[in-house]
Structures are given as C-alpha cells and as structure tokens.
Amino acid sequence: MNMFKFLKEKIGDWTKNLTKKAEETSKKESNKEKKSAKKEEKKKEIKIPTKFSIETQKVEPDLERLKKISEKLEKKQQKKIEKGIKKDKKSEAKILKDLNIETKDYEENLKKLEEETEKESEETITDEEETKPGTKSFFQRVTSNINKVKISEKEYDEYSEELENILLENNVALEVAERMVLDLKEKLVGREFLKKEVESGIKSLFGDIIGDILISPPDLLEQIKDKIYKSKEPYVILFCGINGSGKTTTIAKVANYLKSKNLSCLIAAADTFRAASIEQIKEHGNKLGIKVISHDYGSDPASVGFDAIQYAKKNSINCVLIDTAGRMHTQKNLLREMEKIVKVCKPDKKLFIGESITGNDAVEQVKSFDELIGIDGIILTKADIDEKGGTALSVGYVTKKPIFYLGTGQNYNDIEPFNKNKFIEKLGL
C-alpha cells in the first residue's frame, strides 16, 4: 500500500534539513566556546615580571602592589603641597618608572595574546584536535556538550512554515497542520539530543504528536459479542456517507469480515433513493451468502431498517448492517431523513464512510454527518491509492472519533482494522 508515499518522503527531507541546520549551529557554538576558553587559558600563562621577584609568575598583574605605588605617589605629592615645597619631578619620575616596570611587559604580552587569539578565531577546530591526547582535560572541561545538539526556537521557526506547507500539500487540514506544528515546537525547542540521534529524535516526537491526534478504536468484535451475550439482540450498525465513496462495497466488506469471525449478519437495503442501489447490494449479498432485506424504491428507509432488525431478532442473527442513501452533506432534506432512521432503528454504532483521497472534502463531509447524527467512528476507503495520507489525520482530529477500518482494494478481503501504531510506522516515524 502506497499510503503516505509523498508525506513520508517530504517529512524525511524536512527532518534532515532541520537536523543539518542544528548540527551546524551546535558546531559553531562549540568552536566559539573552545576559542574563548583557550584565550582565557593562555591569558593566565602570561609571564609578568615584577621589580621584587627574579622568577616569573603565571598570574594577573600585582594589582595590590600597583595600588600601593599609586597611594605612595599621592601621599608624597600631598606632603610637598603642605610644606610648600615644589614638586620634585625627579622623585616622581622614579616612582612612575617603578610603575612602568610593573606594567610594560604585561601590556606587551596581552597585546601579543590578543593578536594570536584573533588569528586562531579564523581557524576551525578539527575533530582530531578534540580527541588529541593531552588535550582531554582542557577540551572536555569547556565543551561538555560537544556530542549534543539542541534545536533553538530561531532554527525551528525558520523551518516551521515549510513543515506546515508539507502537511497542507498532503491533505492535512489547516487547523490540524497548525496544531501539529505548534505541538512539535513545544516538544522540540530547547531539547538536547545526542548528535547521532537528532534526526530519529525529531521523527519520534512527530510520531508522538500523531499518536495523540489519532484515537485508537474500541474492539468492535468484542462489543458485538458482549451485546449478543447480554441482551440476546442483534448489534445494529448504520453506515452513512456520500455517493461515490464506496459505501455499498464497504458494507459488503464489513459483512464478509464479520462472517469470517463467525458472526452472522444481514444487510438492510435502506438506500431507496439511488437507482440500482438495491440491486447492487443484493448482488453483494448473493456473492457472500448473506441475506438482504429490501423494499421498493421510494419506500421509507427507516421502515426498511426496522424490518431488518425484527427479522434478525426472530432468526437469531448477530448483526444488522444498514445501508443508507449517499447523501451529500449539503442536502439538508436527505440529512433530516437520516435523523429519522437513527430514531427508529437506534443503531449501536454509526459509521461514516469516506474516501481517503478526497482530503478536505472528507473533513467537511464527516463534520456535517457528525453534527447531524453524532457518528461513532470512520471507515476510510481507497487507502491503497492514497499516496498522501493526510485525510486520516484530519478526520480523526476534527471529529475526535476513531477510524475503525481502512479499505485497501476492490476485493471483499481488502479491508483491515485500523491500527494507529502501524499507521505511524508507515509514515516512517
């Protein structure tokens, strides 16, 4: 199945680009940090001669001594002023000479250091230097995060619009795309990853977001068996959707699936509106060996459903599957007729059937049916030719209802229970 072919490729490329950007930024910051630390380290090694010491010291200039010299000069000048003695320029020159001796070499060495550091800033620290014997204590001390990468808000914002466009292009509704982009930002920005795990980490977080959007469906088979055991009455499923979505064929697939699980069922041909709809559903019933209850065209569809339920009760049939007219979500009269079927037949489950490839149209359709009758779940058809996959994310998010099945072909066996974990795996996340 090619579901997500395009979206999977686009998300993969986007993740690689963001990862590359983050790694480049991390490397630049790491180099900057190293150079700064190296400069400080060298600064401490400047040899500062003093008047009173033959040996040199690896320390900053003797600030305390310079301060005392300065104070001495000030006191001497004050005394001369008090005594009315003229300035002794010779004595002052001697003290200033002492001061110059203390600072001259330091200033020269500091200037030399700055020139060397400036030159080094133009060079790139290589991976070999990072692991070079003898440098471990220095480099590890100043670059503890050298093997880690952090995504900044600026970097994410630079790529967020591209991500939103990718989602929109692949049939993800706008409100869903915006939510996913914001959620990923919240989870991703400021988070540290090991350098080798950045790309997989981003994909994993994206998968978590999709997992939060999609709702796992309940076990329909267990629900059917539970009702049959407790009430001894048939489990009633009503199917709704618009013309051309594959609704009738999907009902036949579900009937065949239930039959394969040892659950007996019959079909109510309550689509009395569309020409040839009754003949179509009867043809499916004949091929599958499943009974179909029908009335004439133009009959009340609610009465067809009611009669089918009564027949199932009398003949101990486990499930009743009610087909309905393929109503357009804009046809208010037909939608109100759907309300009547729900009131009369009281279905245990109301499932919307829509095409996976229709994108935002499917979202509008499912919203209309949900507002009208309160659907319980979704079946998406033509998933086998859906190379985008965004519809599944959209309908799940908009309705907050689970997807029960995916139609994956034209044969009766081409239907599979929806599993959101497999869904995420197919997306490469």
Instruction: Kindly state whether residues 238 and 372 are assigned to the same domain.
Output: yes
Q: Examine residue 20 and state whether it is found in any structural domain, yes or no.
A: no
Which residue is associated with the tokens 């996959």? 389
Q: Which of 213, 229, 247 is the last residue of a domain?
A: 213
Q: Which of 142, 169, 192 is the last residue of a domain?
A: 142
Q: Examine residue 33 and state whether it is found in any structural domain, yes or no.
A: no
Q: Between vectors from CA 151 to CA 147 and to CA 155, what angle results, nearest 5°?
A: 130
* pLDDT on residue 120: 55
Q: Examine residue 384 and state whether it is found in any structural domain, yes or no.
A: yes
* pLDDT on residue 50: 47
Q: Examine residue 83 and state whether it is found in any structural domain, yes or no.
A: yes
Instruction: Kindly state whether residues 421 and 320 are assigned to the same domain.
Output: yes
Instruction: Kindly state whether residues 248 and 176 are assigned to the same domain.
Output: no
Instruction: Kindly state whether residues 233 and 186 are assigned to the same domain.
Output: no
**CATH code assigned at 232:** 3.40.50.300
Q: What pTM, to 2 d.p., does this model score?
A: 0.70
How many other C-beta atoms can be found within 10 angstroms of the C-beta atom of residue 118?
10
Q: At what angle do helices 198-213 and 390-399 cross, to 10 degrees?
A: 50
Instruction: Kindly state whether residues 226 and 90 are assigned to the same domain.
Output: no
> pLDDT in tens for each of the 429 residues of the chain?
555 556 667 777 778 788 777 777 777 766 666 666 666 666 555 544 444 444 444 445 566 666 677 777 777 777 766 665 555 555 655 655 665 655 666 666 666 666 665 565 555 444 444 444 444 444 444 444 457 788 888 888 888 899 899 888 888 888 889 999 999 999 988 888 888 888 888 888 888 998 888 888 999 999 999 999 999 899 999 999 988 888 999 999 999 999 999 999 999 999 888 878 899 999 999 999 999 999 998 889 999 999 999 999 999 999 999 999 876 655 666 767 888 999 999 999 999 999 988 877 888 888 888 988 999 999 999 888 877 778 888 898 888 999 999 999 889 999 999 988 888 887 766
Q: Examine residue 420 and state whether it is found in any structural domain, yes or no.
A: yes
Instruction: Kindly state whether residues 202 and 344 are assigned to the same domain.
Output: no
Residues 6 or more apart in contact with residue 117 via CB below 8 angstroms = 35, 38, 39, 42
Q: What are phi and psi of 353, to 5 degrees?
A: -110, 120
Q: Examine residue 396 and state whether it is found in any structural domain, yes or no.
A: yes
User: How many structural domains does the chain have?
Assistant: 3
The identity of residue 362, as a single letter, is: A
Query: 48 pairs with which residues across the strands?
Result: 57
**For residue 268, what are the domain limits?**
220-426
* pLDDT on residue 414: 94
DSSP conformational letter for 273? S
* pLDDT on residue 98: 60
Instruction: Kindly state whether residues 256 and 270 are assigned to the same domain.
Output: yes
d(CA 241, CA 244) in angstroms, rounded, equals: 9
Instruction: Kindly state whether residues 182 and 254 are assigned to the same domain.
Output: no
Instruction: Kindly state whether residues 167 and 225 are assigned to the same domain.
Output: no
Instruction: Kindly state whether residues 242 and 205 are assigned to the same domain.
Output: no
Q: Which of 167, 198, 213 is the last residue of a domain?
A: 213
Q: Examine residue 1 and state whether it is found in any structural domain, yes or no.
A: no
Q: Examine residue 284 and state whether it is found in any structural domain, yes or no.
A: yes
CB of 198 within 8 A of CB of 149?
yes
Residue 147, classed as helix, strand or coil, is: coil
Instruction: Kindly state whether residues 270 and 123 are assigned to the same domain.
Output: no
Query: 377 pairs with which residues across the strands?
Result: 351
Residue 87, classed as helix, strand or coil, is: coil
The identity of residue 320, as a single letter, is: V
Instruction: Kindly state whether residues 187 and 295 are assigned to the same domain.
Output: no
d(CA 396, CA 192) in angstroms, rounded, equals: 31
